[in-house]
Structure 1
Amino acid sequence: MAAAMGYQCVECGFAIRTLYVQYSPGNIRLMKCENCKSVADEYIECEFMIILIDLILHKPKAYRHLLFNVLNQKTENFQGLLRNAIFGFILLDGYRCMLLNWQEGERRGSSSSIISLFWRYRKVFMACLVGNSLFLCVFLLATRILLNSSLTFSRFRDLLLVILVSSYFKIFLIAMMVWEFPLSVILIIDLFVVSSNTVALKVTTGSSTARCLGVCFSAHCVKLIATHALELPQIMWKNNFSG
């Protein structure tokens, strides 16, 4: 992965200096890749929905367009973009934990008292904080071990952006605010997030699919185990406090 994640040809991943030449407003000429002789980035002239569909289909060239040619450290206001991505990621992950927690409370017949609500929201907060902290640590460690990648500050920001952006499937959780879905939908979304993270990591590092899948799968597994491990001691503490 390039240190600064500069522009790349979406077809072959070859580094290029510019994507297009603009002669006048609305009049541009797309540049061709010196390596594969194809148009370097055809998505420049595509509608957002076409790009989104190709991302959902896990097409590597769509991920190259998004991660190298649209969102990178050369992007204007990159720091603000990164902060907003982190905020959105945590917000959606917290909503996911809340959905699972409420379903668990209904299954156990938990009361809706103030104390019960306090423990529920505390559990959601702890699950987000501990789960995502461990996820990031394991992800970076596995990247260092399995992908033999150094972890400079610039590289850390690149990898963080890759994970945040490629977790866009979490946005579909918003639909559960409006329509009622079975909670198995959350599992499906989680699987799509893992696969999307894998493709994005493969595109940005050039490593094999198996190694990238190992990195993402191990990080998500540790997050899942840590989230569920928090459940037992909090239930015991709540029962003792109630008693």
Structure 2
Amino acid sequence: MICIECTEPVSSLYTEYSTDNIRLTACSKCNKFADKYIEHDGVLIFIDLLLLKKQAYRHLVFNVLTPDTSPSTTNDNLHPRVRRLFLLITLFEVYLTWAQVEKGPQTPLTRYLLGLPIITQYNYFLIICLTEAVTWHISVRVMARILLGWKRPNALSTALLISSATKLLPILMIIWDYDVPLAAALVGWAVNFNVVEALTIVLSCSYFKAILITAMSSIAKGAVSRFIFMPILLNDCDVEFPSLDVSAIGQPTLFAQVFQLIKTYAERV
């Protein structure tokens, strides 16, 4: 547990005198409440997360989404809520990726995929999304360890998942019909922006290092998907693999998002 204002470690966040009577702990370093969000409603915390407030991120990552079995700041385990969030985001990415392929431009690869049985298609997209998600988290962890000496990888993954919750916004496509590729590109940029901001907050690093970690992790994710798992999964495909347009498959990389956004805008103009 830490003070969300100055990141100073604290032994407790509040003292409970009765069920409805608690007293917030004051930080010995900055003399402010160690965690004011203890008394805030979840809706207010959610709004502050959307506003990218540092205190809200620190509250969730370091003071809430870690087990309460130990007051030590070295405690680094994934909270069950974080695991469920990872599962939810991944399953939704499968649905969104599938919709991108169906509504996007038809290539030899997409025609081949859409001609497969439904179960086979779902399994393919599920494996790709899981592969890219795991690769992305591992890459960010490794980069943070190399560049900054970060030793709490699960806390970092928690921050990444919170900042990536923006991926759930296209669920509105169930209610309103809109351009899926364009929406995916815009949401992808929003996620990248949130991830960079989350890294600067949690790692206490500069924007340059946060952008570098995000970009390198995006490249690693795309490379693993493009050159390792896709050739394995599509080994029975009759289409020549180097000619396939893989930018439309899986979660778009940073560069694929730029290309898709420019292409869509040019077509509309």
| Map of 1:219 onto structure 2 | 217
Q: Which amino acid aligns with 1:171?
A: L
Q: How many residues align?
A: 229
| Map of 2:29 onto structure 1 | 35
Q: Aligned partners of 1:170, 1:8: CA distance in 2, in Å?
A: 28
Unaligned runs of 5+ in 1: 1-6
Indicate how the Cα distance of structure 1 residues 112 and 135 shifts in structure 2: closer, same or farther if over 3 A, else same: closer
Q: Which amino acid aligns with 1:87?
A: L
Q: Aligned partners of 2:67, 2:19: CA distance in 1, in Å?
A: 25
Q: Deviations over 1:144-189 (max 9, x none)?
A: 2222335xxxx33223323223311122132222222322222222
CA-CA distance at 1:47 after TM superposition? 2.0
Identity of aligned residues (%): 26
Q: Aligned partners of 2:168, 2:67: CA distance in 1, in Å?
A: 24
CA-CA distance at 1:71 after TM superposition? 0.8
SS in 2 for 1:23: strand
CA-CA distance at 1:67 after TM superposition? 0.7
Q: Give the TM-score normalised by structure 1.
A: 0.78
Quote the RMSD (CA, aligned, Å): 3.2
Q: Give the TM-score normalised by structure 2.
A: 0.71
Which residues of 2 match residues 179-218 of structure 1 at below 5 A?
Answer: 179-183=176-180, 184-218=182-216
Residues 1:56 and 2:75 are matched in the alignment: no
SS in 2 for 1:13: coil
The partner residue of 2:13 within 10, 19, 26 is 19
Unaligned runs of 5+ in 2: 71-76, 241-269
Q: Aligned partners of 1:133, 1:168: CA distance in 2, in Å?
A: 16
Q: Aligned partners of 2:165, 2:150: CA distance in 1, in Å?
A: 24
Checking the alignment, whether the CA contact within 8 Å between 1:97 and 1:127 is kept in structure 2 is no
Checking the alignment, whether the CA contact within 8 Å between 2:57 and 2:159 is kept in structure 1 is no
The partner residue of 1:159 within 150, 156, 160 is 156
The partner residue of 2:169 within 165, 169, 172 is 172
Q: Aligned partners of 1:236, 1:180: CA distance in 2, in Å?
A: 34
CA-CA distance at 1:26 after TM superposition? 1.6
Q: Which amino acid aligns with 1:124?
A: F
